[in-house]
Chains A and B, each alone.
Chain A
């Protein structure tokens, strides 16, 4: 049994986002890059499943669409425990483009389970997983918050309003996972980082494809207005301000 985990290279979640002068792109100077946290949890769960499978799961591969700059992120996935990796050598323009590239790159290798995060912490598009399943003509389950494998049978919990569904999908399938799938991401050990040097990282060129969407402009949120303090005893002033200044009553 083989598992593929799709990972996205995203700015560290503590990054202070700055825009370029035309507000058409994010200024990437000095940005630290990490594995998208949802994808990292997916990888963590995949590793747990492999360790518990008594040899049944023979390989965990990771795949990422990104230029050379994405390699530290991919190497980290290998250092944590993935067995091999594929990098598709192009910038991911949008979810459609990225899903198409991944589907093309892995179509000759039969993965039983494909995992990806429900969204990425950069653009939060939440579209990649479903599109990938469609391109690969596979069933998919979204919002997966737990994943169990017993023999050849997979059982997943899918979050729905007010509770969850228990789904037993047929393999192969795409699981679009969210928080809860694994407790916390693993930290690579120094020995793991050294071993990652020896693991295969295949670079494949992208296939010509159009992106369906593009960015026109970014607009940062309005800065918070100054806070006006009103004495608790002065209710009349508060009502007056809400009426005349805030205009909400």
Chain B
């Protein structure tokens, strides 16, 4: 069962949003209520990605909302993008991940680093959901240390020859294209667009996940794949390229995690008011009130952090370290709330009738991908001391 979704707004943050922000949020919220909530538990239980949502997300405009309209985006601001991520993750981190990857890791680099031809060719199709993309950076032996990547491109005159393998790639089994990062002969990281169907390119699915079960995860394997020269990003070299993409995606996650937390809190609050033990609602017991009050406090802090980060991002002033802090704080907050709220529901909390276990398991991935919880802490450490502890 699920309760009506009453999103907490304890500090009247709605007053800081524009009318347009509120319409964006309500549109995505309505779509999630209609299209995701009724099916998501079964999809996760069955380990099935609901493929139809790609077209629906495209029609809704949830792919590339901040990309200009001339390339198929909506031209919205970054707070709108954040609100979209929050609402999608209220449904499930898998749904938000799909939109995050398509927007921040595929459309954003094509828009930012791509040629005009690449933008015209790919962006409108990615925005409408007629084409799905994925992002290849992480490798089997290089996660937090992408600078040591082994995937290589070799200039063969008419084309580049791509060899290597990428792992933990959201959407890879269903993607039509992949934005791939590989080193050239000089050891310089370059970005390119690989298309499914190119000889030697395969994307096997990752099985037996306990997390993001309603999402497709897989590998990207490149065995002497000929990449046409026009598929290379001409304007970016070095790790800065993929890190800029990750900044955009991490920003979205900082907002998204709040959605999972609010879903858990809302469920726990309503359950605690209904569930009676010792002849009174369990919400009347101090230990339950402590949990609920602390959850709401943490959600409120996360909302304020995300909102402020959004205003900085709109002004093009959000630093990577600020984004790291927000991603780290908000995902941990959401994971803690998933666990605490599950406790309020007792045994009922472990069933698929309620969303906590699903969110909790999803958030174990979210706290790891796009920079692990530990690495983000070290990014803050580096920022305040000037000393990198991860090199």
Partner-B contacts on A (CB < 8 A): 14, 16, 29-30, 32, 34, 71-72, 75-76, 79, 184, 187-194, 196-197
Chain A proximity of B111: nearest CB distance (Å):
16
Most chain B beta-carbon neighbours within 10 Å: one of A71, A188, A190: A190
Closest 6 CB pairs of A and B: A190-B61, A190-B74, A72-B19, A14-B4, A189-B61, A188-B27
> Of all chain B residues, which has the CB nearest A192?
B61
Q: Secondary structure at chain B's binding surface: helix, strand, loop or mixed? A: helix
- Is A189 a contact partner of B59 (Cβ separation < 8 A)? yes
Residue pair B27, A194 in contact (C-beta under 8 Å) = no
**Residues in chain B near residue A192, CB distance under 8 A:** 61
- Check A190/B19 contact, CB under 8 A, given A30-B9, A76-B26: no
Contacts of A188 in B (CB 8 A): 23, 27
* Contact across chains for A193 and B5 when beta carbons are under 8 A apart: no
Is the C-beta of B319 less than 8 angstroms from some C-beta in chain A?
no
Are A14 and B5 in contact, with the CB atoms below 8 A? yes
Residue among B27, B30, B61 having the largest count of chain A Cβ atoms under 10 Å: B27
Residues of A within 8 A of B20 (CB): 75, 193, 197
Q: Would you list 5 pairs from A and B whose C-beta atoms are within 8 A, ordered by A residue?
A: A72-B19, A187-B30, A187-B60, A189-B27, A193-B23
Chain A residues, Cβ within 8 Å of B26: 32, 34, 76
Interface range on chain B: under 10, 10 to 19, 20 to 34, or 35 or more?
Answer: 20 to 34
Shortest distance from the beta carbon of A71 to any chain B beta carbon, whole Å? 5
- Chain A proximity mask over B1-40: 1 for CB below 8 Å, otherwise 0: 0001110010010100001101110110011001000000
Beyond A184-B34, A194-B76, 7 additional pairs, beta carbon < 8 A: A32-B14, A75-B23, A76-B23, A187-B31, A189-B74, A190-B27, A192-B61
CA distance A30 to B13 in the complex (A): 10
Chain A residue contacts of B31, Cβ below 8 A: 187
In the complex, B42 has a CB within 8 A of chain A: no
Residue of A with least CB distance to B5: A14
Per the 8 Å Cβ criterion, residues 53-111 of B in contact with A are 59-62, 65, 69, 74-76, 80, 84
Residue pair B6, A193 in contact (C-beta under 8 Å): no
Task: Kindly provide the distance from the CB of B152 to the nearest chain A CB, expressed in whole angstroms.
Answer: 39
Question: What CA separation (Å) do A108 and B5 show in the bound complex?
Answer: 43
CB contacts (< 8 Å) of B22 on chain A: these are 72
Q: Which residue of A lies closest to B62 (CB)?
A: A190
CB distance from B289 to the nearest CB of A (A): 18
Asked whether, in the complex, the Cβ of B19 is within 8 Å of the Cβ of A194, the reply is no
Question: Per-residue 0/1 for B221-239: is the Cβ within 8 Å of any A Cβ (1 yes, 0 no)?
Answer: 0000000000000000000
* Inter-chain contacts of B23 with A (CB < 8 A): 72, 75-76, 79, 188, 193, 196
Residues of B within 8 A of A71 (CB): 19
**Contact pick for B69, options A30, A76, A187, A191, CB 8 Å:** A191
Among A14, A29, A30, A75, the residue within 8 A (CB) of B19 is: A75
For residue B19, which residue of chain A has the nearest CB?
A72
**Residues on B with beta carbons closer than 8 Å to the beta carbon of A191:** 61, 69, 74
